[in-house]
Structures are given as C-alpha cells and as structure tokens.
Structure 1
Amino acid sequence: MDRAAFAVAFVARCRRAGLSAGLTETDDLIRGLGVVPAGSRAEIYWVARVTLVRREADLAAFEGVFAAVFDDAVPLPLTRESAPGARREDEVQLPLPGATARGSADGGLPWAMLPTPVAARDEVGGEEPAVPEMRPEALAALAERPFDELDSAQLDALAGALAAELHHWPHRRGRRRAVDARGPRISLRHTVAQSRRTAFEPVTLVRERPVRRPRRAVLLCDVSASMRAQTAAYLHLMRAFTTVTAAEVFAFATTLTRLTPALRRPSAREAIERASSAATDRFGGTRIASNLVALLDSHHGDTVRGALVLIASDGWDSDPPEQMTAAMSRLRRRAHRVVWLNPRAGTHGFAPAVAGMSAALPFCDLMLPAATFGDLTTAVRATLAL
C-alpha cells in the first residue's frame, strides 16, 4: 500500500469531518504506518488515533471517519508485493467523495485490499482494543473531582500522575564532605596525606565540598471518622513520597501507627490494602496532640529533626488546645518545615475555627487545601518550593 497516498486521503476526509489535522499530523501518520508490521485494522486504528487526535473533542469525528473507511475493508497490508503501478485481483477502491485524481481513478482510498479469510489477531471476538491509558484531558478532569466520587481504578491512575511530581526532590547539606577540585574549602586531612610524598610540603591543595542528601520527609495521615472520604487518596500521596525519598509515614486516630513498611510494597494496590489493615483504629476518634507527642517521644522522633513534616487532617481534635500548642511547638523547633493539608481549607468562607486547628496554625509554615487530586498536586509543588 502507498502509505503517503493513503495518509493524505485519510487526513483529508478527517478534515472535512471537522478534525483539526495538518501537515505535521499527516507526516506522523505516514511514519507511524511505516513501523506497523502486519497492518491489521486495530494496529492502523491506534496509529491513526495517536497521530491525528490531539483533543478529546475530535475523537467522535475520527471514529466516524475510520468506521466509514474500514468497515468493509478490514486489514490493510502495508507492503506491496507487486511492482509499482500494478493492481492485484483483490484490490478494490474505497469510495471517498471529493478525492483528487492523484488518489485513484475512482476517487477512493488507494490500494485497499479485500479482507483475508482469517480474522486479524487483534479483533478476535469483534471487540475494540482497550485504551492503554487515560488521556491527559481525562486525568485533568478527574483531578478536580472530590475523592469520594472516584473509584479505585481512578485513584490509582491519579496517584501515578501525582508521583511524577516528586521527581525533583529537594536536597540538604549533610555533615560529611567529599573531595572535589572545585570545592569551597581545603581538606586538611587529604592535603596532609598528599604532602607525605613531597617531604610534608603542601604542594598540592586538596579541596572538598559538603555532600548533599535528599531531605527527609515525615508524613502523618488522619484516618479518623471525619476523614473517611479522604483516607485512600492521602495514603496514595504518602506512598508517592516513600517511593521517591526516605520518608516515614504514620497514621493516627486514637493511636499512632507506622505505615512505612506497608507503603513501600511494589504494588500500589497491595500497599494501600496493607496500610489500611495496619491502622486498626480507622474511622474512630481523633487525638492529634497525643499522637504528635507519642511520635516525638518515640525512637522515630529523631527522623523529624531537619525533616519536612506534612500533616493531613481536618484539625478536629479531642485533646485540649493547650496540649496541641505544646506538641506543635516541639514539632516546629525540631522540623525544617511544617505543612498542614486540610481538606476543608478550599471551601468558600473557610476559617480555622476548630480549636485544634486554631492552636496548630501558628506553628505551620503552610496550610493548603487538599480536597481533590488537583489540590494535592498544587500542595506537592508548593512543598517542593520550600
């Protein structure tokens, strides 16, 4: 089959149907058809769809044109065994109104072969191939929907897009130093060791620089009854942190539970299930201040030192506000930054009137809304900029 002639004729018909495709898309289609090995209907469908459809609004027009062209001639071989200009007995011309004489004598798509007796391997059962992944426009639309309106598959898809935002994780200066010719200071130990070869005359000055390490992150997720709708999405956020940096994740309601080993599982679905079953006090009461004190007093309290601390909670707390003030004061002195994610902060007319939230707010560097995956993406970007 002449790929160029076919692509030009097919794109012209798509343009008449309202699909916006130009020379770039036509060239992409020609190149894509060149790498299709067998030329089955499904393969040509996906090559044409990926190269020509740029907007979700154009999908209906593309589907109509493709169905009109290929319903009566399924497989289109992409190799010509006959000599140029020769026509085989099974060649037919697909009708294409308005085609130029350059396409074919009958005005159709050129060199369309009749279907073979054996069905293509991608069309067994007559079903269309499944979409390999969600389009970016669909993900963007889902990202603005509340968490309680999303199913598990949609949560997994959005969690993958959220994890991509954490690739550029901030680093901090460590205490160790490494030899570097462009370092800002002289390494006394290495310079003296080098001078042993020159009668202890420091002929060569060895320089060094501080070793930079990824900044540690500590995340605390409220799994009480008031956070039932947000718990699954927040656990996806916590798992994204554990896959990028050395993060410690804790869940709290009435007690504190460490979820780091469960969330580091390679399968996202298995990790969320293990983390959900590990938090035995889910959907109960809330004791934020007591759990913060328990974390700081435990052997995991040193992980907070110099770390980025994220607390995901609505601020409802059964502990006295004075206890929250004391706990947040200790946490703020030990942490590098404290960010509070509140699912109700984005609602119109929100004010931190809850006693626990009011007591914790003066010790937070940021308080950000977190009611949708779009809010979580914005929160991650703001956190990385700290």
Structure 2
Amino acid sequence: MTTAELIARTENHLFGFLRGLHDGGLRVPADKQSQFFAGIETLAPSTTGQLYWIGAATLVTSEPERHVYDEVFRRFFGLTAADALVVTDEPADESADEDEPTSMPGSGEAEDVVADAAGADGLAASNVSPEGVRRFAATTPRSHELIRELCRELPRAVPTTRSRRRRPGGRRQRVDLRAIYLESRRTHGEIMRLHWRHRPQRQRRVLLLVDVSGSMKQHSADYLRFAYAVVATCPRAEVFTFGTRLTRVTPSLRTSDVDGALAALAQVVLDADGGTLIGTSLATFLDDYANLARGALVLVLSDGLERGDCTAMVAATRRLSLLAAQLSWWSPLACDPAYRPLTRGMSAVLADLDALTGVDGLETALTAVRGKFATTQRSAHV
C-alpha cells in the first residue's frame, strides 16, 4: 500500500468515526471537528491512546457525551477509556533495566496529550479549545479589598472627552436660542436673559479584551475580577474574552457580586484554558464591534504569545491603534524587569501601543490604574 493510499484510508476511517459519533447521538459541530483534526495535525499521535485523548479533549463536553464517545471509539479503534490510560502501541524498551521501576506504559503519553491540548499547565499556548466549563476559586478577602480600591480609583483614572451632545448650562459656549425663545413667549417677546448650552466632559468608553487561553491560566481569574470592577464603575465599559474565539461578557459582569459574575462567566466562556488565536479573535472583534473601540481607552490583557503566523495579530492591533484614543497592552510577562518583547508578535505590534505594562494580578492592576493606566501620550488620531 502506497503512502497516499494509507493517508486516504486513515482519513476515511476518521470521518467514519465522526459519522459513528453522529449516529450514536453525539452530534459534533463543524468547529469541534476542525479542532479534532487540528489536534491530530499538531500533536501527531503515535499511539491509539494519544488519539483517544485528542478526541476526548476536542469532541466531548459532558459526561453523557463521554459515554457515547467511549463506545464509538472502542468500536472503531478497539480501545476503551481504561485501556487508553495504560496501553501503548509502541514496543517496550528492551534495553531498560528490569529492576528499574517504570511508570505504566502510555500513562505519561496520555497526560501529555491532555495537557498540551487543553493548555492545562498554563505555560504554553495551542490552537485547540477544551470546550469545557472552568470553575473559578472564591475571591479572597484581600482580593475583595483590592476590588473596592479599584472601584474608588477608576473614575478618576479613566480619561474624559467632550460629549457630542450639548447640555443646558452656564458655560458660555453657544447661545441656546430655543430656550431664549420659549422664555420670551412668557414675557411678551422681551428677552430678559440669555441661555447657553455647552458640551460637558464625560468618561471615554473603556474596552477590555481579556486573554483566557491556557498560557494565561494563572492570571485570567484576576483579570476578570478587574473587568468586574471596570464594569461596576464605568457606565460605558465593554469586556470581551478571547482564546480560540471571541466572547462578549459584559452582561455577565453586571451583577452585584464578583463571585456571581465569575460563575456567570464560566457558563459563557467555553474556551477558557485552551488554545489561543489572538489575531483571529481581534480581527473578529474589528469585523463585528469596531465602533466600540472608536475613541475608547482600549486595554488588551494578554501575554501576546500568538501561535504561527502573526500577520493577523499585527494588522488587527494596528487597526485598533488607529481607532482607539489610547491602546495599552497589559502582560504578566512584563512584570519581570528583564522582560523584552522579542517574540515575533509583540515586537511587531510594539510601535502601535501607547504602553506595554506589567500586570499579573489585582495588586499590579491597581498600581497601573493609579498611574493612569500607565499610558504615554501620543499624537491624536481620532
């Protein structure tokens, strides 16, 4: 059998496996099927156990679905869930010392596949989404105190701009002819005093784009608590999360309790702790919600570790820079004094940022807010 025939046979068997899942009651959406094949391409499984865990991480989201998946996988590949933990298709290393203790064959492989596919170690990014529900730990008393501090500081820190609409007021900017006319009707045409209208100052919109991918696992919870404080104190705030997809979460954050807000977020942010597609997510935001960035204070909370081609990330960041009044990038990596933005993505977007600030939790977020978001002035472009 030629290599081309073997590849075609393998593809047919995998598509047959997906049809078997559908016939068994597990209807896998097209995006999850794409993630399944992306996981195979990225991880290049060499054992059936590895293939099992790639499918479990990308195709299954609940326990009932897991039962269907296990049955169909056993039918197509002859391997059960229990076997996937202890069975490997690779021959044992005969040169190993018989007296040397070894781990169960295949167990390390399975764990590596799950960790890489879901970004569970919080240190590396992938393009595979776990499609699960993340449980956030309860907010500590110290975090509650920091959130209250942030709520006090944010109204003073958010930059202002003149309202487009004029309001009645004593500032002599424009004569209010309508008010003068209505008053003159009560005085038989006599103008007794002049009325004025002016454009008052109001807060700029605050737009948060929060990275919830696996490489941000240690920081995303505090980033979302900061987002809760922003929504609670800034009437024109908008918050989006992104990992492998873009999710608008502003309505979920409009609650009176931070832990309640995080619980609501867990139900809508289904790509948490998974892969990362920064450029694709930012491009989606600009396609659907670009008006929210116009004249706004935009904060991107991410480590900037984009996978693969960074062209989309660079183009989207440049467009955000042109739309926003201020564009700041908060990265936990920048908390290290020795950090330098040398990755392809961050080095390319640095020129479009007002500031690259080290923020890894609520403590450093409060410091950045007290420093007026650590922004630097650039020439006006909005």
TM range (shorter): 0.5 to 0.7
- Report the alpha carbon displacement of residue 366 of structure 1 after superposing the two structures with TM: 1.2
For residue 181 of structure 1, give the secondary structure of its aligned residue in structure 2: coil
- Report the alpha carbon displacement of residue 384 of structure 1 after superposing the two structures with TM: 5.5
Q: Higher helix share goes to which structure?
A: 2
For residue 250 of structure 1, give the secondary structure of its aligned residue in structure 2: strand
- Report the alpha carbon displacement of residue 336 of structure 1 after superposing the two structures with TM: 1.3
- Give distance in 2, aligned partners of 1:307 and 1:357: 22
- Give distance in 1, aligned partners of 2:361 and 2:281: 26
Aligned-partner residue type, residue 324 of structure 2: A
- Alignment-derived partner of residue 259 in structure 1: 249
- Alignment-derived partner of residue 273 in structure 1: 263
- Report the alpha carbon displacement of residue 262 of structure 1 after superposing the two structures with TM: 1.1
- Alignment-derived partner of residue 109 in structure 1: none
Matches within 5 A, 1:65-76: none
Matches within 5 A, 1:141-290: 152-153=139-140, 154-168=142-156, 169-196=158-185, 204-245=193-234, 246-290=236-280
- Give the number of aligned pairs: 236
Indicate if the aligned counterparts of 1:219 and 1:249 stay in contact, CA closer than 8 A: yes
Question: Is 1:309 aligned with 2:288?
Answer: no
- Alignment-derived partner of residue 318 in structure 2: 329
- Give distance in 1, aligned partners of 2:197 and 2:258: 41
- Report the alpha carbon displacement of residue 346 of structure 1 after superposing the two structures with TM: 1.9
Cα 1:178–1:282 change in 2 (3 A) is same
Using the size of structure 1 for normalisation, the TM-score is 0.56
Matches within 5 A, 1:344-355: 344-355=333-344
For residue 205 of structure 1, give the secondary structure of its aligned residue in structure 2: coil
- Alignment-derived partner of residue 120 in structure 2: none
- Report the alpha carbon displacement of residue 196 of structure 1 after superposing the two structures with TM: 4.4
- Give distance in 2, aligned partners of 1:384 and 1:315: 18
For residues 312-351 of structure 1, the C-alpha deviation after alignment (integer angstroms, 9 at most, x for no partner) is 0000112522222211121112111111101011213211
**Structure 2: which 5+ residue stretches go unaligned?**
1-136, 376-382
Deviates more, 1:211-220 or 1:165-174: 165-174
Matches within 5 A, 1:50-199: 152-153=139-140, 154-168=142-156, 169-196=158-185
For residues 161-213 of structure 1, the C-alpha deviation after alignment (integer angstroms, 9 at most, x for no partner) is 33332242443211111121333332233334444456756553211211332
Aligned-partner residue type, residue 143 of structure 2: L
- Report the alpha carbon displacement of residue 380 of structure 1 after superposing the two structures with TM: 1.3
Indicate if the aligned counterparts of 1:195 and 1:204 stay in contact, CA closer than 8 A: no
Question: Over alpha carbons, which structure has the higher Rg?
Answer: 1
- Give distance in 1, aligned partners of 2:250 and 2:303: 22
- Give distance in 2, aligned partners of 1:372 and 1:219: 15
Matches within 5 A, 1:30-45: none
- Report the alpha carbon displacement of residue 239 of structure 1 after superposing the two structures with TM: 0.4
Indicate if the aligned counterparts of 2:368 and 2:374 stay in contact, CA closer than 8 A: no
Indicate if the aligned counterparts of 1:324 and 1:359 stay in contact, CA closer than 8 A: no
- Report the alpha carbon displacement of residue 361 of structure 1 after superposing the two structures with TM: 1.5
Indicate if the aligned counterparts of 2:206 and 2:238 stay in contact, CA closer than 8 A: yes
Aligned-partner residue type, residue 383 of structure 1: K
For residue 239 of structure 2, give the secondary structure of its aligned residue in structure 1: strand
Q: Higher strand share goes to which structure?
A: 1
Matches within 5 A, 1:337-376: 337-376=326-365
Indicate if the aligned counterparts of 2:163 and 2:200 stay in contact, CA closer than 8 A: yes
For residue 213 of structure 1, give the secondary structure of its aligned residue in structure 2: strand
- Alignment-derived partner of residue 7 in structure 1: none
Using the size of structure 2 for normalisation, the TM-score is 0.57
Indicate if the aligned counterparts of 1:289 and 1:319 stay in contact, CA closer than 8 A: no
**Please, what is the CA RMSD of the aligned residues?**
2.3
1:320 is matched with which residue: 309, 334, 337? 309
**Structure 1: which 5+ residue stretches go unaligned?**
1-149
- Report the alpha carbon displacement of residue 237 of structure 1 after superposing the two structures with TM: 0.4
- Alignment-derived partner of residue 105 in structure 1: none
- Give distance in 1, aligned partners of 2:155 and 2:330: 21
Aligned-partner residue type, residue 190 of structure 1: A
1:296 is matched with which residue: 286, 301, 310? 286
Cα 1:362–1:200 change in 2 (3 A) is farther
Cα 1:284–1:198 change in 2 (3 A) is same
- Report the alpha carbon displacement of residue 249 of structure 1 after superposing the two structures with TM: 0.7
